[in-house]
A and B are shown apart, each in its own frame.
Chain A
Amino acid sequence: MTAAEDTSAAEDNPAVGPVLRLHPFSWLFVLITRLRPFILPAILLLFFGQGSSWELWGAVGAVVLAIYALIYSFGFRYQIAGEELLVREGVIFRTERHVPFSRVQSVVQKRNVLHLLFQVTELRLESAGGTKPEAVMNVIPVAEAERLELLLRHGATTAADSDAGSDLDSASASATEAAAEPLLRLPTSEVLRLGLISNRGWIVVGMFFGLWWQLAPEDWQLWRLAREPLGQLFNIWGADPATALEGLMWLVPIAIGFGLLLKPLSMVMTLLMFHDFRLLRSASRLGAESGLLTRRSASARADRIQRLVMRAPILARLLGRRTLACDVAVQRQDDNADELGRLHWLAPIATPAATDRLIAELDPAMAFADRQWQPLHRDAWRRELKGWVIAALIAGVVLWFPLRHLTVVPVLALLILGWFGSRGWARFAAWSWDGRALSYRAGWLVREWTTALIANGHSASLRESPFDRRRGMATIGLSTQGAGRMLFPLRIPYLPMVTARQLHRELTTTMAAAVAGAVGRSAPTGRSGSRRAS
């Protein structure tokens, strides 16, 4: 029986639905997911390999995996029972898992060309705890996924029960689309601008060199090709200081030229990733979908947004654009590399006015505009300059050998750059605390902003290094859940000591009260129960 028949059967009794299966072609997708890590090496072996016994073992493995995929996908069952989803899966060990809708923090859908062909999608449900998704449905029909997402949306807000029921009966994709008002939609021109700003071209370069490293025939190996130019470089190095300096100065236009060459690649990458980006909001959920060949969508409960991070690199500023991202409280930090694997981008690119409007619509308390920004310690720039001075010293020591007396040139250049850098950094750096949200902004060429509600804080810290103490400074930090390690942290350095003390005291008292209130209100965030049976 197909999933479509089941949906019609479900209309009779919406509380406890019938037992549903995956799409009949699921085994194909399960197989592809399992085989993906091996596909590229297999192809490469086929073309470049010397015909070893590995091919045979590979083939045996593929057959075993295929059988596994078949059994797994035909054995997968799920059922909607009231306010929870019941999942039974597994080949040898059967797992029965109860997933209450209220626990699902994040819903992720993935569709590539093959999915589009079969009109199916991969659906992943995640909760706040744990390292594995609560349920992965690989794959179910698109309409069925829409129906489940709708259920999830309304499962959380039981008030709209009757409404949800009527929506469910229709279960049509278009109705869902209409219900969700797009908060942001990126036309292709914007996506191309994003490509211009971003450096995603490096991903391609990295992959290219990785492949080359693996595959190149003997006399095309990287180190062989690089030997001659490197030798030339060392010849220049060994020559008189003036020639060496000239060689060094050539590196600047070469680096810039390479960066420009990468931009078209970046644009292609962003087009693949962010084509037709849409930020949608319906009921309490916020979702983003994008992608050209592989269409991905991720959604999360709007109140699970822990922190906002806004960025404006120099190129974006020249184009009058910014980016806006958020942290969602899903504890899978290992997965951070996959920026589309969960709700992360609220606006991959937008005008300042658009980002301000977006934040105002999400939660006005988190707005960056109309804040009373306070400056850091007046000597903050000196502390920043120190980093540049140390860098200049190291450069001086390293470059002394080839450049001799001309070492002055790069060192001086770094110091001048550092002067402007640290002054500019400190001029823009500021913090703000209004009793509800703590914000911090800083940056010179890349300006960054971040803000978090105090009610989402998990700990507050005041730190003071010996260097801080010499100038009467301290650092204030607010730790939130799910903060990406690579993202701008909410940590305010170089605050005047007195201000930092008072701010810390206010943060602790306000946070204790706000957290007590917030925990009382929201649902517990534990993992749902599961049971195993052989």
Chain B
Amino acid sequence: MEEPELAAPSGLPTPEPTADPIPESASTATATPTATVEYRLHPKAPKVWTIVASIVAAFPLTGGTITFFALELYWAPPLLAVLAVVVVWLLTRYFRRYARTVSCQLSPLGLLIRRGVWWRAEIFVPRERVQHTDVDQGPLARRFGMASLKVFTAGSEHSQIEIDSLRHSEALAVRDELIDRSVEAMNDGPGDGSAA
């Protein structure tokens, strides 16, 4: 690789990459110059995750409380409750930070997913390598109008990439866009039509 060409890195040194290093590369590619669309998570995503975490935390909390009452350790349950509140509060903060890092960019080249607070990852999947996609909606997600998008590839790593808590409409948009393109790409062959 030619060392002198090392362009100034346009994103990462700043802790919170907001948008962009990819568009410039997109313009150098052979594909059609369609704009890159960036999707972020639903603004309520951290809230929903917190609700889920609270529900999960409630089980050991009640179990612990009952046990402590049975053992007549009456000072323990309040302590447990305080601990639970602190943990949930820390988680909420983490969720908020994490949600801000998640970005899903759809360019003419493919899908670039970026996320992570401490362990950061940027995963790129070319359009033609998307095997199929799933859009899932749980009961909570449906209430808030969000959905999770799963992208499957045939590679042995990242064979399933899940983006949780996108806006439902946007998850569908990404899916439709990916399907359209991959159908276009193999319009001569018997497309396996498994993208659903």
Taking Cβ atoms with an 8 Å cutoff, the residues of A that contact B are: 329, 331, 333, 372, 374, 433, 457-466, 477, 479-483, 485, 489, 497-499, 501-509, 511-513, 515-516, 518-520, 523-524, 526
Name the one of A461, A497, A519 contacting B157, with C-beta atoms under 8 angstroms.
Answer: A461
Report A306 CB to chain B, min CB distance, Å.
Answer: 9
Interface check B71, CB cutoff 8 A: no
Taking Cβ atoms with an 8 Å cutoff, the residues of B that contact A are: 1, 5-7, 9, 11-13, 21-22, 25-26, 28-31, 108-110, 112, 116, 118-129, 153-159, 161, 185-186, 189-192
7 contacts between A and B (CB under 8 A): A479-B153, A482-B156, A502-B5, A503-B1, A506-B1, A512-B109, A524-B189
Report A132 CB to chain B, min CB distance, Å.
Answer: 17
| Chain B interface, >50% SS class | loop
Task: Determine the residue in chain B with the shortest Cβ distance to A519.
Answer: B128
Task: Determine the residue in chain B with the shortest Cβ distance to A525.
Answer: B154
- Considering the complex of A and B, which 7 residue pairs feature the smallest CB-CB distances, nearest first? A458-B155, A479-B155, A512-B109, A479-B157, A483-B156, A501-B9, A519-B128
Task: Say whether, besides A465-B119, A498-B6, A459 and B1 are in contact (CB < 8 Å).
Answer: no
Enumerate chain B residues within 8 angstroms of A524, measured Cβ to Cβ.
Answer: 186, 189-192
Does the CB pair B126–A333 fall under 8 Å? no
Enumerate chain A residues within 8 angstroms of B108, measured Cβ to Cβ.
Answer: 512
Report B7 CB to chain A, min CB distance, Å.
Answer: 7
Tell which of B28, B109, B120, B154 has the most Cβ of chain A within 10 Å. Answer: B154
Report B59 CB to chain A, min CB distance, Å.
Answer: 31
Does the CB pair B119–A481 fall under 8 Å? no
Enumerate chain B residues within 8 angstroms of A503, measured Cβ to Cβ.
Answer: 1
Name the one of B119, B121, B185 contacting A520, with C-beta atoms under 8 angstroms.
Answer: B185
Name the one of B21, B110, B123 contacting A461, with C-beta atoms under 8 angstroms.
Answer: B123
Name the one of A465, A480, A497, A507 contacting B13, with C-beta atoms under 8 angstroms.
Answer: A497
Name the one of A460, A505, A515 contacting B123, with C-beta atoms under 8 angstroms.
Answer: A460
Enumerate chain B residues within 8 angstroms of A464, measured Cβ to Cβ.
Answer: 12, 116, 119-121
Enumerate chain A residues within 8 angstroms of B157, measured Cβ to Cβ.
Answer: 459, 461, 477, 479, 483, 489
Enumerate chain A residues within 8 angstroms of B1, measured Cβ to Cβ.
Answer: 372, 374, 433, 499, 502-503, 506
Give Cα A374–Cα B190 distance, bound, in whole angstroms: 43
Task: Say whether, besides A459-B158, A466-B119, A480-B156, A508 and B7 are in contact (CB < 8 Å).
Answer: no
